[in-house]
Amino acid sequence: MNTILSNLKIQVNEKIYVKDPETSALGKKIIEQSILLIDEIGFDNFTFKKLGEKIGSNESSIYRYFENKHKLLVYLSSWYWSWMEYKLVFATTNITDPKEKLRNAITIVTEKVIDDSSTEHINEAILNKIIIAEFTKTLHTKEVDQENKEGFFLIYKRVINRIVNIVTEVNPSYLYAKSLVSTIVEGSLHQHFLTEHFTNITDCNTSKSTTQFYLHLIENVLH
Amino acid sequence: MNTILSNLKIQVNEKIYVKDPETSALGKKIIEQSILLIDEIGFDNFTFKKLGEKIGSNESSIYRYFENKHKLLVYLSSWYWSWMEYKLVFATTNITDPKEKLRNAITIVTEKVIDDSSTEHINEAILNKIIIAEFTKTLHTKEVDQENKEGFFLIYKRVINRIVNIVTEVNPSYLYAKSLVSTIVEGSLHQHFLTEHFTNITDCNTSKSTTQFYLHLIENVLH
DNA sequence: TCATAATCGATAGTATTACTATTATATTTG
DNA sequence: CAAATATAATAGTAATACTATCGATTATGA
């Protein structure tokens, strides 16, 4: 997996950035260090000025790559879901049994990311932590409809609909395939969050357990 | 229900506010109009200055009630979940059949709020819209553990655990009662959000349908 | 009823944020 | 080597998120 992914460039909608960060050393540094800084101080406290200080560069230089910090978070999220899509495709191709395919898909998407060295400048485990903590903020804005129209969330929606197709294979008569999958994808992030901060309202205490919960759930819902 | 609720004061943790907004006309105006303004322009664009202008009062006066806009949102959320708890208790007391009790509980908590005139200065339908759009922001901060310790989210957790108890009544051997309920409560807000902005990844198109999805889900998960 | 406490509105001020614009320098590329 | 491009540094603006002070009004209770 690693070797294959290292040859693949994760595709992100061009409208999200001003200049593609993958095309320069500074751009990659922005991505690499923004992930670390957002994890460290949280997205709300994160500013381009602080990031500039961290990477020994200037605030204004970062603005040449991203309009604002919201767009940077959208970029990181897109990258994450694009990466997730690759993992999903790998885990499900050439598997004939729909049930096994679905189990693999659910596992990929609900598991906590431990580590992955597929990309030089991106720490996927920490990016996963950011997605757990901050992803909803990319959606919950007043501009969501406009940004959705511009395709900012295309990959996220594609990931969900890929799994929806597998659900439909397993049980074509099930009426709520989309809601089920969107609930699982979003819900598993939430369960990871609860495991970290609200242990009193979750049964999941390791990453495996979140996956087990959803595997058990989907098994029962689809018979 | 209305008549009974109008005599009950919704209890909110004292640490959330500087001065209890229920104790003065200005305080109630702050609550009433902040709900309308947050719905109108979104929480991110909401400021105390704008609220002051809207209610013909001064920024500094609002700071005498709430330390900052985050605390105000936590207050509105607490109020919402407290109100939800009352509705929950009403819908489940004196019902002997655990399954029926559970169906009622799930319905209460997943239904879109149409309208409720139980409180003079709070429009519950609009507050429900705010919860759908902004509630996750109260949790996803760097201060969440501290605020959780101080009891800011107690009512929310209590609502979930009330439903957990009913789930356990229905099926004592089910291993993931807490995760199931927290997934449903959080997930139904998310489904309402998707219904509004991402119709492509949800099957729910009316409030009733979100409830039906979860009623169907819980039926199957618990046998 | 008078004193005093609490409340509120108005004003001013500070630090930070979220940018934009300009320019000089360094680097790349053709 | 020239031209284009990228970057760093600096300056500046408007808005945000507050804090502090002060006088005017209103409420309370002795």
Neighbouring CB atoms inside 10 A of B222's CB total 17
Min distance B18 CA to chain A CA atoms (Å):
23
Radius of gyration of chain B (CA): 18
CATH of the domain at B205: 1.10.357.10
What is the average pLDDT score of chain A?
A: 93
Q: Cβ(B98)–Cβ(B169) under 8 Å?
A: yes
> Which tens digits make up the pLDDT trace of B104-128?
999 999 999 987 767 778 999 999 9
Q: Do the domain assignments include residue B3?
A: no
For position B70, what pLDDT does the model report?
A: 98
What's at B186, amino acid-wise? E
List, as ranges, residues 103-142 from B with C-beta within 8 Å of A.
133-134, 136-137, 139-142
Region of A35 (left: φ > 0; alpha: ψ -120 to 50; beta: rest) is alpha
Nearest residue (Cα to C1') for C7? B61
CB-CB neighbors (< 8 A) of A204 in chain B: 176, 179
How many domains does the structure of chain A reveal? 1
> Which tens digits make up the pLDDT trace of A190-212?
999 999 999 999 999 977 789 99
Q: Which of the four pLDDT bands, split at 50, 70 and 90, describes residue A90?
A: very high
Three-class SS of chain B: CHHHHHCCCCCCCHHHCCCCHHHCHHHHHHHHHHHHHHHHHCCCCCCHHHHHHHCCCCHHHHHCCCCCHHHHHHHHHHHHHHHHHHHHHHHHCCCCCHHHHHHHHHHHHHCCCCCCCCCCCCCHHHHHHHHHHHHHHHHCCCCHHHHHHCCCCHHHHHHHHHHHHHHHHHCCCCCCHHHHHHHHHHHHHHHHHHHHHCHHHCCCCCHHHHHHHHHHHHHHHCC
The residue ranges of DSSP E strands in A34-170, in sequence order, are none
Q: Cβ(B209)–Cβ(B183) under 8 Å?
A: no
CB contact under 8 A, B176 and A203: yes
Q: Do the domain assignments include residue B165?
A: yes
Q: Cβ(A104)–Cβ(A169) under 8 Å?
A: no
Q: Say how far apart CA B192 and CA A140 lie, in whole Å.
A: 12
> Which tens digits make up the pLDDT trace of B170-196?
999 999 999 999 999 999 999 999 999
For position B119, what pLDDT does the model report?
A: 79
CB contact under 8 A, A140 and B160: no
> Which tens digits make up the pLDDT trace of B142-157?
999 999 999 999 999 9
Q: Which tokens hold the place of B62?
A: 């609002």
Q: Do the domain assignments include residue B32?
A: yes
DSSP A137-179: HHHSSTTHHHHHHTTTTHHHHHHHHHHHHHHHHH-TT-S-HHH
- Residue B63 neighbours by CB under 8 Å, 6+ apart: B18, B48
For position A3, what pLDDT does the model report?
A: 43
CB contact under 8 A, A201 and B160: yes
Q: Which of the four pLDDT bands, split at 50, 70 and 90, describes residue A1?
A: very low
List, as ranges, residues 141-200 from B with C-beta within 8 Å of A.
141-142, 144-145, 148, 153, 157, 160-161, 164, 175-183, 186-187, 190-191, 193-194, 197-198, 200
Q: Do the domain assignments include residue B2?
A: no
- Residue A69 neighbours by CB under 8 Å, 6+ apart: A43, A46, A47, A48
| Bases in strand D with any atom closer than 7 Å to a protein CB | 6-11, 16-21
Å separating the CA of residue A8 from the C1' of nucleotide D25? 70
- Who among A140, A181, A194 is closest to B133 (CB)? A140
Q: Which of the four pLDDT bands, split at 50, 70 and 90, describes residue A2?
A: very low
Query: A22 to each of A19, A101, B137, how far by Cα in Å?
Result: 9, 33, 31
For position A8, what pLDDT does the model report?
A: 61
Q: Do the domain assignments include residue B213?
A: yes
Domain that holds residue A192: 2-221
List, as ranges, residues 27-56 from B with C-beta within 8 Å of A.
41-42, 44-45
Q: Hey, what's the torsion of the CAs at A179, A183, A184, A190, to 10 degrees?
A: 170
> Which tens digits make up the pLDDT trace of A99-124?
999 999 999 999 999 877 677 789 99
> Which tens digits make up the pLDDT trace of A114-171?
877 677 789 999 999 999 999 999 999 999 999 999 999 999 999 999 999 999 999 9
For position A115, what pLDDT does the model report?
A: 74
Interface with chain A: mutation pick from B147, B158, B165, B179, highest number of A CBs within 10 Å: B179
Å separating the CA of residue A170 from the C1' of nucleotide D5? 54
For position A120, what pLDDT does the model report?
A: 77
CB contact under 8 A, B187 and A187: yes
Over residues B48-54, mean pLDDT: 96
For position B7, what pLDDT does the model report?
A: 52
